Structure 1
């Protein structure tokens, strides 16, 4: 069986990042699911771990019990500095 010409995870990563960039009023905060897609499918538990370690910014908006949001700026900075390493 031949390998696909395009890595589907890498493609999803680039599409998610470009979608945020092209939005006229790009959100400053995104859901864990959206943040995961922006970082190439990183597990949501890993995102929480990175937030506890101070590698990305995460918050829980008032009135949204249980919903966590991730800073788009911190995702972009993390991705530029560290890539999508899962250490």
Structure 2
């Protein structure tokens, strides 16, 4: 299996804008919709949302099926 190129990292290194969306609903279903929307990246917010480690993991699993990069802001507790 070939490693996927990280399009967010590539865009940041080149100084290009890369459109993304924040996911803060703690729902794998809504994250799947967002990941399939065509955005280049999504951020799963664990700091200011009801996301916990289990819901973050479920969201990462559904996002992995799409060509967008997933970034996580971990819960602070």
Higher helix share goes to which structure? 1
* Larger RCO (CA under 8 A, 6+ residues apart): 2
Structure number having the greater strand percentage:
2
How high is the TM-score relative to the length of structure 2?
0.30
